[in-house]
Amino acid sequence: MIKPFVIGVLLLMSAPAFAVGPSAVAAPDRTLWPDSVDSTAAFDRASRAEMLVFGHELAESEKLSDDDLMALLKIKQVDHASVETIRSKYWKRLATGYALASARCAGDEPFCPKASDETSFRKAAMAFASAPSARYDAWFANAREFHRVYLNELLRLGALFPHISSEVDTFSAKELSGNEPADRTFLLTFDDGPTRADGTTDKTQAMLRNAHLNATFFVLGGNLEARLKQTPAAQLAQNYAGMCVGAHGWEHKSHSSWVDWQSSVTRTTALVHDTMPASYQPLFRPPYGQRRADSGEFFDAQGIRVMLWNIDSQDWNNKVNADQVKQRVLTLMLLWRHGVILFHDIHPKALVAVPWILDQTRGSGVTFMDCHSPL
């Protein structure tokens, strides 16, 4: 069990690090939340609470100057327009989610100030400076720190965008941002595989089948080529049966500056299609979320869509244990209420996190969508 008020300053993992991120990563302690989330009403209550705290921190961040942001986030430049754009998007998403979460509030229901639009939600969030009762005091202190650190993760990405691209924003409406699923609906995705035979990729697939779920796997061409030397193509196709498989590039390298990025995409796509045609999906997930701003024409010509994500598990980080990963993901599910969740099948933490999340949300109305369904 995580000790109370666990908020780590989590550093980038050493090799083989297949993701980039901030120097501090938010990890909450959900044991401090005194209620369950295993009914629709309970999920909505916890969802409203997380949204109000995040909204309060978002409002507080608007007081920061660009110089303040550079010092806080330890970066050398801030794209002011980009930061303002993502803040605006978050306010809209929060207001929309809050309206859904508060639609059936009873008269004495906690965390339910009236807020029918973005303006009134912003006002409610700005006023949300303390827990509604002592019962929630410990949770509130932890949640406020969690959302402050989590918001800094997002502000860092926004401040660097588009100079350094990421999942924080899209370059066009044709890119899938992760915000497409319906309320309480989530898509599981796994990057960087496949691993060697009987490794975490195979175990992840077995875990999903045991739970009657599927997911989208974004594979690296080089890893797939290596696995095919161990496992015949027909057997590997059977391993992925029922799952969806997209391309993650030939190697885990930024596709925003790589001279051969187009070849990386087409080689991987061809190998995936030829190896497992029944599972192939015309999707590309750029390593680190990094892609060229002008790459849309290429992807259109290839009939491929870029798929990003809006819930980052941070399971790749070797300073984050499986308990922290599962609690982070559940908290972000409550905050955003829908989305595409990023895991990595080269790491084992999802094997702990996914079953726990399923158990916690049973009865809540949460749905994990079929990866074959259109977004």
Please give the full DSSP string across 225-240, using - where no structure is assigned. HHHHTTS-HHHHHHHT
> Which pLDDT does position 1 carry in this prediction?
40
Which segment of 17-21, 132-136, 220-224, 274-278 scores lowest on mean pLDDT? 17-21
> Which pLDDT does position 20 carry in this prediction?
52
Average pLDDT of the residues of the chain: 94
3-state secondary structure string across 122-158: HHHHHHCCCCCCHHHHHHHHHHHHHHHHHHHHHHHHH
Domain parsing of the chain, residue ranges: 33-160, 185-368
pLDDT at 200 over 70: yes
> Is residue 84 within 8 Å of residue 169, measured between CB atoms?
no
pLDDT at 2 over 70: no
pLDDT digits (tens, 9 = 90+) for 342-367: 999 999 999 999 999 999 999 999 99
Q: Which CATH superfamily is domain 185-368 in?
A: Glycoside hydrolase/deacetylase (3.20.20.370)
> Which pLDDT does position 107 carry in this prediction?
77
pLDDT at 23 over 80: no
Backbone torsion region of residue 328, taken as left when φ is above 0, otherwise alpha when ψ lies between -120 and 50, otherwise beta:
alpha
pLDDT band, residue 236 (cuts 50/70/90): very high
pLDDT band, residue 25 (cuts 50/70/90): confident
> Which pLDDT does position 17 carry in this prediction?
37
> Which pLDDT does position 22 carry in this prediction?
62
As a whole number, mean pLDDT of residues 148-154 equals 97
pLDDT band, residue 21 (cuts 50/70/90): low
pLDDT band, residue 108 (cuts 50/70/90): confident
CA end-to-end span of the chain: 36
pLDDT digits (tens, 9 = 90+) for 155-184: 999 999 999 999 999 999 999 999 999 999
pLDDT at 368 over 80: yes
Strands 339-344 and 185-191, bridge-based pairing: parallel
pLDDT digits (tens, 9 = 90+) for 40-60: 999 999 999 999 999 999 999
β-strand partners of 191: 218, 344
> Which pLDDT does position 14 carry in this prediction?
31
CA dihedral angle for residue 249, residue 255, residue 260, residue 266, rounded to 10 degrees:
40
Distance between CA 303 and CA 145 in Å, rounded?
A: 43
- What's the token pair of residue 70? 């550079």
pLDDT at 117 over 90: yes
> Quick one: what percent of the chain has pLDDT higher than 70?
94
pLDDT digits (tens, 9 = 90+) for 288-319: 999 999 999 999 999 999 999 999 999 999 88
Alpha helices in the chain (DSSP H): 40-61, 66-73, 80-101, 118-127, 137-160, 200-210, 221-228, 233-239, 261-275, 296-302, 322-336, 349-361
